[in-house]
Amino acid sequence: MADRLAIDGGTPVRATPLPYSRQAVDGDDIRAVTEALRSDWLTTGPLVGAFERAVAAAAGAAHAVAVSSGTAALHAAVSAAGIGAGDEVVLTPLTFVASANAVLYCGGVPVFADIRPDTLTLDPAAAESLITPRTRAILPVDFAGQACDMDRFADLTRARDLCLIEDSAHSLGGAYQGRPVGSLADLTTFSFHPAKLVTTGEGGAVTTSRDDLAARLRRFRNHGFDTDFRERQTRGEVYSPMVELGFNYRLTDLQCALGLSQLAKAEDFLKRRTQIAERYLAALADVPGVSAPAVDPAVRHGWHIFPLLLDLGRLSADRRTVVAALRAEHIGAAVHYVPAYWHPYYEGLGYRRGLCPRAEAAFERLVTLPLFAAMSDADVGDVLTALSKVLGYYAR
Ligand SMILES: Cc1ncc(COP(=O)(O)O)c(C=O)c1O
């Protein structure tokens, strides 16, 4: 039977698996990295500053500080914000654990506030209701690539002298009210993991328009040293004073070469991702039992992932079965995210289920479809064919 699901022994929609994400690396990128390999500097060289200037320009910020991952960017940002033992940071649970872990790295306390039911981003009212005298920062995450209500968060944090840290791992190239992501918060963090809009293999950056925060970030990623290797050479100094406890979170020149080459194509990548997302959105209207999170009209979406929400009341299968069925059709469906505090480590810290009911309910319904710039139109067609096949089968 043509419609027999692959999970039940039918023929898969695709012969070969389609991943949920994949980098787009071409000859230009390879040439750029090869050139860097032949240069005098494999790390702490001139490409780091060049990459930082390009990231700052793309993000509309005065400064970008490149670091070794998006996780390092979060750690650096939370530290630069002065978060220490017992300080509370209010954030969304619908995120990758790194957002919350960064608070723990600094001895702080993650305080999870619920999400908006429509966009699935941190709800400003929920965040506000959890502010206490110990709160030091609010950390919204641009879930799937959609900037949060940044004006509301900016007002909230300004009025109470809190730091606003935006985790924009998903939203490079995005904007809110016409202003680029990276210019909206005190500190904004990015990731250049291969699933992201542009990649450096592993990598990340923090943008800020405050000189004092930029200086702290630079020290933090380089052992807490006051100067870097090249500055020391130029000044003829034999050592750099270590003025605070820092880390080696540096991004290499090889990675920055790749990042510069990738960043030059970021706009094309985002246009392609947007095209695919729009094709998905248009097609969803004809697929039973499914909808997409709302897109705020004030936002230019970064389309890092394409999440959809199952209407479980209209389906005879749960999310786990739907994901398994899509995978059997060779469509790399995924789930973003289990609420951060459901992880056993967080349970061990005393967090309990039930804390953020809207995020928990969304988790049970979320499925991520493949979305990356290198997808062909035929790949997109396969995803939609498989989605209709699977949800058509399970529709009540
Ligand atoms: C929302 C969010 N924040 C932070 C990170 C961490 O970035 P990285 O993998 O570059 O450390 C990720 C990674 O996927 C993420 O999705």
At 12-61, the pLDDT tens digits run 999 999 999 999 999 999 999 999 999 999 999 999 999 999 999 999 99
Continuous segment of H or E residues that includes residue 89: strand 88-91
Question: Strand, helix or coil at 85?
Answer: coil
- Cα of 167 vs centre of ligand 1, distance in Å, is 8
Atom of ligand 1 nearest to the CA of 202: 10
How do residues 260-308 score in pLDDT, each as one tens digit? 999 999 999 999 999 999 999 999 999 999 999 999 999 999 999 999 9
The residues, ordered by sequence, that sit 6+ positions from 81 with a Cβ below 8 Å of its Cβ are: 136, 137, 163, 165, 186, 187, 213
Q: What is the pLDDT of residue 246?
A: 97
Atom of ligand 1 nearest to the CA of 143: 1
Average pLDDT score over the chain: 97
pLDDT in tens, 175-197: 999 999 999 999 999 999 999 99
At 325 the pLDDT is 98
How many other β-carbons are positioned within 10 Å of the β-carbon of residue 288? Answer: 14
Q: Whose Cα sits closest to atom 7 in ligand 1?
A: 70
Q: 145 C-alpha to center of ligand 1: Å? A: 12
Contact 363, 114 (CB under 8 A): no
Residue having the nearest C-alpha atom to atom 16 of ligand 1: 96
Question: Of all atoms in ligand 1, which is nearest to the CA of residue 95?
Answer: 1
Class of residue 122 by CB neighbours under 10 A (exposed 0-12, middle 13-18, buried 19+) = buried
- The set of protein residues with a Cβ atom below 6 angstroms from ligand 1 is 69-71, 74, 95-96, 98-99, 141, 167, 169-170, 191, 193, 204
To test ligand 1's pocket by mutation, which of 21, 96, 255 has the most ligand atoms within 8 angstroms of CB?
Answer: 96
Reported residue count of the chain is 396
- Are 137 and 164 a contacting pair, CB within 8 Å? yes
Residues 365 and 301: beta-carbon distance below 8 Å: no
Distance 311 CA to ligand 1 centre (A): 28
Say which residues have a Cβ less than 8 Å from residue 89's Cβ, sequence separation at least 6: 78, 83, 103, 108, 109, 110, 111, 135, 136, 137, 138, 139, 165
| Ligand 1 atom closest to 74 (CA) | 4
Q: How far, in Å, from the CA of 190 to the mean position of ligand 1?
A: 8
334 secondary structure, DSSP code? B
- Model confidence over 323-353: pLDDT tens digits? 999 999 999 999 999 999 999 999 999 999 9
Q: Which long-range contacts (CB under 8 A, 24 or more apart) does 237-245 make?
A: 243/219, 244/219, 244/220
Q: Choose the residue to mutate in 91, 97, 193 for probing ligand 1, maximizing ligand atoms within 8 Å of C-beta.
A: 193
Ligand 1, closest atom to CA 337? 16
Ligand 1 centroid vs 96 CA: distance in angstroms? 6
Phi first, then psi: give them for residue 202, nearest 5 degrees.
-110, 155
Residues that are catalytic: 196
Query: CA 209 to CA 56: how far, in whole Å?
Result: 9
Share of the chain above pLDDT 90, in %: 95
Q: What pTM was estimated for this model as a whole?
A: 0.97
For ligand 1, atom 14, name the residue with the nearest CA: 96
Q: Which residues pair with 165 in a beta bridge?
A: 187
The answer, yes or no, to whether residue 1 has pLDDT greater than 70, is no
pLDDT reported for residue 218 = 97
Of ligand 1's listed atoms, the one at least distance from the Cα of 142 is 1
Bridge partners (DSSP) listed for residue 176: 179, 299
| pLDDT score at 252 | 98
8 A C-beta contact, residue 198 and residue 262: yes
pLDDT at position 149 over 60: yes
**Token pair recorded at residue 49:** 């500053």
Cα 365 to ligand 1 centre (Å)? 22
pLDDT score at 237? 86
- The one-character DSSP state at 251 is P
Alpha-carbon span 171 to 174, nearest angstrom: 5
302 SS3 class: coil
Helices 253-263 + 27-38 axis angle, to 10: 150
Q: How far apart are the C-alpha atoms of 112 and 115, rounded to whole Å?
A: 9
**Amino acid letter for position 245:** L
The Cβ of residue 132 has, within 10 Å, a number of other Cβ atoms equal to 9
Q: What is the pLDDT of residues 369-391, one digit of tens each?
A: 999 999 999 999 999 999 999 99
The preferred substitution site among 99, 191, 206, 335 for testing ligand 1, maximizing ligand atoms within 8 Å of CB, is: 191
Q: What is the pLDDT of residues 197-230, one digit of tens each?
A: 999 999 999 999 999 999 999 999 999 998 877 7
pLDDT tens, 223-262? 999 887 777 888 888 888 999 999 999 999 999 999 999 9
Q: How far is the CA of 192 from the centre of ligand 1 (A)?
A: 9
